[in-house]
Amino acid sequence: MTISRRGVLQGATALGAAGAAFWGFAETGKNFYQGVLGTAKAKGIAGGALPPEYKVDPSSGEVILNPDQRVGYTMCMGCTSVCGIRVRVDKASGDILRATGNPYSPLSTNPHIPYDTPIKDAITGLSAYGEQGLPGRSTACGRGNAAIAKQNSKERILKPMKRVGERGSGQWKEISWDQLIEETVEGGDLFGEGHVEGLRAIRDLKTPLDPENPEYGPKANQLVVIPVFKNGRLMMAARFAKMAYGTRNFVGHRSYCGLSMRAGYAAMLDNLKKQPHLKPDYRHAKYMLFIGTAPGNAGNPYKLQGTLMGAARGRDGVKYAVVDPVLTNSQNHAFGKDNTWVPIRPGTDGALVMGMIRWIMENERYDAKFLAQPSGAAAKAAGEASWSNATHLVIDDPEHPKGGSFLRQGMVTADLDEDAQKAPMCLDAETGELSPAKGRPATLFHQGTVRLLDGSTVPVATSLSLLRREALRKTLAEYSVDCGVPEERIISLARDFTSVGKQAAADCHGGTMHTAGFYTAYAIVMLNALVGNLNAKGGTTAGGGRFKDVQKGPRYNLLAFPGKVKVKGVDAGRGGFAYEKTSEFKRLVAEGKNPYPAQAPWHSFTQPMGAQWLTSVLEGYPYKAKAVITWSSNPVYGVAGMENDIKEKIKDTKRLPLFIAIDPFINETSRFADYIVPDRVFYEAWGWASAWGGVPTKVSTARWPVVDCQTGTTPDGRHMDMDNFFIDVAKRMGLPGFGDKAIPDADGNLHPLHRSEDFWMRAGANVAFDGGAVPESDDTDMAITGVDRIRADLESTLKPDEWRRVAYVYNRGGRYEDAAKTYKGETFARSYKKGIQVWNETVGTARNSMTGKKFVGCPTWQAPSFADGTKVDKAFPPDLWSFRVVSTKSQLRSSSTGGNPYLDDLKLSNAIAINTVDAEQLSIKTGDWINVISPSNRISGQALVRQGIARGAIGIEHGYGHRELGARTHKIGNVILEGHSNRGLGTNSNDLGYTDPTSQRPVLLADPVVGSIARQALPARIEKMS
C-alpha cells in the first residue's frame, strides 16, 4: 500500500511551521525566547543557570561548598562509553540538577588528575584558582547531561506489572512483589490461557532438552536471558542465569552492535573467545584511518575519542582520513587539507582496504623487520613491541584434512614432547632451513612443499604469502570499481598510512555491520599489523584493563561459590558450536545424504549469537525456549529485521510460554512481556565497569546510588530491581550462590548474598585492595561526596579494615591508574602479549555450515553475500534496488535515548539523507516526504538532500522511530498512561532489515562467517510520496 503525504501529516503531531516540524526546533526556539525576555534571574547568575556546586576563593584557594547541594562521583549511562562523572543533587528534593565530568576519570579528563589527589584539591583544580580551570576541566557530553531526565520520567515503571490482555495489547495491572516471585517461579494458569511452567520447573540440569540431539544440553537451557550491555551490573545477572540456574543462554548485545569489528580484531589478536580490540594512540599518532567509525561523532569511548581527536588536530604533522558513506562531524574545513573524507559505496570498505594492501605489498611498504619476528622471544631480541605469525607455514590445500592448519613440528619430526610437537614451523631467514618458530627472524614469503612423517607431501605457504595472494586476486582497478573510490585515492591512503612508521593506526566499528563485515574488519585492522604498530607509542593499544572486582581478588571471589553450575550445550542462536559436531549433521552423513546446507547457519568460532535468539526460539531451531527474560534490552528495536520477523510470533504463547522483562520503561521488546519487573536507572544503581580499549591505563568506574531509588520496595524494605529479583527468585528456588553462605572471602569464609550491597560492596573491596590497598577515607571526604549516605551499609557489610578504603574509592567514583603509567619508553606500559595472526588457524579450518566450504583464514574481499554465498547484488540487482541504506550516529542520540525530553527539545525527528545528484534524478527536494522500500518493508520520512553523502547511499540517523518509550498509550489498572506522538517521530532504519532468503529456517540477515547482524548496506529503493 502506498502511504500518502496527507496520511503521514494527519498521523503526526503538528509542530508549528513546516520548517519547525522538519527540524524539530520549535521547543528550542520557545525556550530561547523565554531565556532572553523572561523573568529576571538571580544576581550573578547567567540566564537560568544553577547556583554553583561550590565556590573557590581566587586568592587563597579556599573551597566553600554549596550547603544546598551534594556532588557524588559515579558512572554515566548516557551511552555505552560508561564515563566517570560527578552528579549534582539538590539536598532538599533529592533531584539531580546536572551531570559534569569526574576529574579522576580518564574518560572525562585529559589528562586525569593523580588518584591520590585530595577531594578538595580536585575541586580547586576545576576552578579559576591558579588558572587551573581550563587545563583541568572535566566534562560530560550532551548524552550524559540529558540522561538525568530518565530519573523522574512519568513513563518509569516503579512496581511489578502483569499483562491482563493478550501480549502486546498495552493492558496491565500492578501486582505485589511476592506475587511476582511466586508466579514466575512456580508457574500455573497465570493468564487463564492454560498452564505455564515456571522457572522452577524449567530448571532441569539432568534431562536432555532433546534426546535426539544431546549436544543441545539440559532442559535448563530453555531459559533464555537477554541482558543489557556491559553497564557495570552484568555479573549479578550472569551469576543467576549461568552460574546458579545453569542456562547456556546468557549473552549481551554484541552480535547486533559491533560483532564484526570485535571478531575482526579477535581473529587478528588470537582471542576469538574474549574478543579484545585495539584503539589508536591519539596522543602520538601521526596518521589515523577511520573506516566505519568517526571519532567525535560515534564509536567508543565516544567522548574521550572526540577530546583526543580535537587535541590531535591541533598538533603539527597529524593527518587523518575517515572512510564513510556519510560526511560526519569528524571532518571540517577548519582543520585544512590534513583531514580527508572518503565517500564510499556502502558495504564495500573491504574492497578499498584490500586494494590498499595490494599496493602495500607490491611496493614493499610493510614493516619487514617486525613481520619477520615469529615469536615473542624473537621480537624482544629485535627490539620490537609485538610479534606476528606472518612467517608461519600454513598447509595450503583446502581439501587436505589439515588444510588451513599451521605446519607443526610434530608433523615433520618424531620423538618430541607435547609442547615441541605443537610448535609452528617457519623457514629460518638466514639459513632457509625448516625450523620451529623461536628466537630468530624467519622468511616472510614462501610457497613450496614439505614432506610429512608419513611420507606424504603437502603444499605450504607463509601466512604473509597467503595474505598477498588474497590481495592480488583483484587488480587495483577492480577494487576501485567495487567500492566506488578512485584508484588514486586508494593509493594515497596506502601511501599516507605507510609513511610514518609505527605512528599510524587504523580503526573501525559499526560501519562494518553488513554481510561482508567480518572480512572487512579483519582487513582494516590488518593494516596495523603491516606497519607493526601494536603496543607502540603512536600506534595502537588494547587498553589498560581493570582492577579486580567480581573475579577472584585480594578479598573476595564473587564468581565462585559452593554448588556453582558449569553450563553445557549449544546456545539458542547456534553460535560457538560447529555444525559438523551436531547429531543432525552426523545423522545425515550416516544416511548417505549431503549434510549441507544446514537448516540455518551455525557459527563455530564466534560467541553465542544473542541477536538470533528470539528468532531461533520462536522458530524452534535448534530448540524452543520455555521462558525468556530480557533485562534493559531492546532487540526488537535494535536488531535489523527483528520486528518484521517476530512481531506476530512472539504474541503466540504456544511458541513462547513465559516472557519476563526487567526494565524501568516499556520499550519495543518489553511491550510483549507477560511480566515487567521495575529496575533502577542510571544514578540509582550499583556496579563496576571498565573502559574500552582507548584508555591505556587501568580503569574501574564505580556505580553507586548517588540519589535514592524510586522503585517500590519489597516487604523487607529493599528496592525492587534486577538484583533483588534474581536474588529472591534464587532464594525461593534454593539455587546455589544466594542466601546465607554465598560469597567466599580470601580466607575461605562464606558471606551472605541477600541484597545488592552484599555483592557490589564486596566487589568494591577487591578494587580497593587490588595491587596494593588505597588509603582509608576520612569523614570529611565522605560528607563532600555524599558517600556518608551509604556509610551504614558500608560498615555493616564490609570488614573493619575494608569499609573506609571502599569509601575512598566511591569518593572518587572508582579507581583509576595514574596517567604517568601510560608509557614505558616508546611502548605502552601495559602491552598485549599474544602475537598478531596474519593467518588465523581457527578461521581457516572452519567451514561454512551452508556450503561446507572452508573459510579463508586471512583478510580477503568478498562482496556482501547471503549465508550460502549468493551475492546480495545478484538477488537484489542495483538496477532495481539502486540504493543501499546505512545507519548513522549523532553525538546525542542512541537507541536508549528515545523519549528523553531534553534531547527532544533539541531535535524531535530525523531525516532521510540522500545525495544531491540522486535527489535531482528523482525530483526530490529537502523536506519532501519519501518512502524507502526494502525487500521486507517500507518506511516514510522527510528527505534531507546533501552533498555530504555518497551517491547511491541512504543515511538514516539512529535513535528515532520508536513505537514505545512513551510513544504509545498503555493502561495500567484504571490508569491511562498517555502516549506522546512526538516520541515516535522519525524513522528507524532497522525496520528495513530482513531475513536471509537462502536459509531454510528464518534467520536474520547476517555476516556469513561470524553471524553479526547486517544493519548496513541494506538494498532499497526510493519513492517520492504523492
Condensed to tens digits (0 to 9), the pLDDT of residues 524-554 reads 999 999 999 999 999 999 999 999 999 999 9
In-domain check, residue 103: yes
Average pLDDT value over all residues in the chain? 93
Same domain, 198 and 268: no
Helices marked H in 576-660: 583-590, 613-619, 635-638, 642-646
Residue 897 has a pLDDT of: 75
Domain for residue 279, yes or no? yes
Average pLDDT over residues 994-1007: 96
- For residues 881 and 871, give the distance between their C-alpha atoms in angstroms, rounded to a whole number: 14
For residue 390, being part of any structural domain is answered with no
More confident residue, 306 or 952: 952
Contact call for residues 399 and 853 (beta carbons, < 8 A)? no
- Ranking 196-205, 409-418, 465-474, 900-909 by mean pLDDT, the lowest is 900-909
pTM: 0.94
Residue 969 has pLDDT above 60, yes or no: yes
pLDDT interval class at 334 (50, 70, 90): low
φ, ψ at 821 (rounded to 5°): -95, 15
143 and 176 co-located in one domain: no
Query: Same domain, yes or no, for 356 and 502?
Result: yes
- C-alpha count within 13 angstroms, C-beta hemisphere, residue 1009: 34
Domain that holds residue 202: 161-251+557-680
Question: Which CATH number is 971's domain given?
Answer: 2.40.40.20
- Tell me the pairing of strands 929-933 and 912-915: unpaired
* 272 and 223 fall within a common domain: no
Q: What is the CATH number of the domain that holds 569?
A: 3.40.50.740
Helices assigned H by DSSP within 531-634:
583-590, 613-619
DSSP state at residue 49: P
- pLDDT (0 to 100) of residue 12: 40
DSSP 737: T
Between 324-338, 508-522, 912-926, the lowest mean confidence (pLDDT) is in: 324-338
Confirm if 734 and 868 have CB atoms less than 8 A apart: no
**Is the same domain home to 874 and 1002?**
yes
pLDDT band of residue 48 (cuts 50, 70, 90) is: confident
Model confidence at 24: pLDDT above 50? no
Q: Are residues 200 and 333 in the same domain?
A: no
Instruction: State the pLDDT at residue 42.
Output: 59
**22 pLDDT above the threshold of 50:** no
What tens digit of pLDDT does each residue of 559-602 get? 999 999 999 999 999 999 999 999 999 999 999 999 999 999 99
Buried b (16+ CB within 10 A) or exposed e, 918-939: bbeebebeeebbbbbbbbbbbb
Mean pLDDT of 8-34: 43
Tally of domains in the chain: 4
In whole angstroms, what is the distance from residue 266 CA to residue 903 CA? 36
Residue 200 backbone phi and psi in degrees, to 5:
-65, -45
Per-residue pLDDT of 88-110, as tens digits, reads: 999 999 999 999 999 999 999 99
User: Do residue 1020 and residue 881 come from a single domain?
Assistant: yes
pLDDT digits (tens, 9 = 90+) for 826-870: 999 999 999 999 999 999 999 999 999 999 999 999 999 999 999
What is the average pLDDT across 336-356? 94
Q: Report the distance separating Cα 75 and Cα 260, nearest Å.
A: 27
Q: How far apart are CA 132 and CA 55, in angstroms?
A: 14
Provide the CATH number for the domain around residue 764.
2.20.25.90
Average pLDDT over residues 416-429: 95
Residue 42 exposed, middle or buried by CB count within 10 Å (0-12, 13-18, 19+): exposed
Neighbours of 108 (CB within 10 A): 29
Q: Cα 728 to the chain's mean position, in Å?
A: 29
Nearest Cα neighbor of 843 from 353, 263, 169, 384 is: 263
Q: Among the three residues 541, 574, 594, which one is the final residue of a domain in this structure?
A: 541
End-to-end CA distance of the chain: 13
Alpha carbon of 542 to those of 302, 432, 534, 822, 891: distances in Å?
Answer: 16, 34, 8, 12, 24
* Residue 399 lies inside a defined structural domain of this protein: no
> Within a domain: residue 429?
no
Write out the DSSP string of 919-967. Answer: HHHTT--TT-EEEEE-SS-EEEEEEEEESSB-TTEEEEETT---SSSSS
- Cβ atoms of 97 and 89 within 8 Å: the answer is yes
Same-domain status, 357 and 493: yes
Residues 481 and 601 in one domain: no
CA 415 to CA 419: how far, in whole Å? 12
Q: Which amino acid is at 759?
A: F
Residue 485 lies in a domain: yes
Q: Is the pLDDT at 815 greater than 70, yes or no?
A: yes
Which of 624, 652, 680 terminates a domain? The answer is: 680
Neighbour-count burial for 141-170, b at 16+ CB within 10 Å, e otherwise: bbbbbbbbbbbebebbbebbbbbeeebeeb
User: Percentage of residues in the chain with pLDDT exceeding 70?
Assistant: 94
User: Do 983 and 932 fall into the same domain?
Assistant: yes
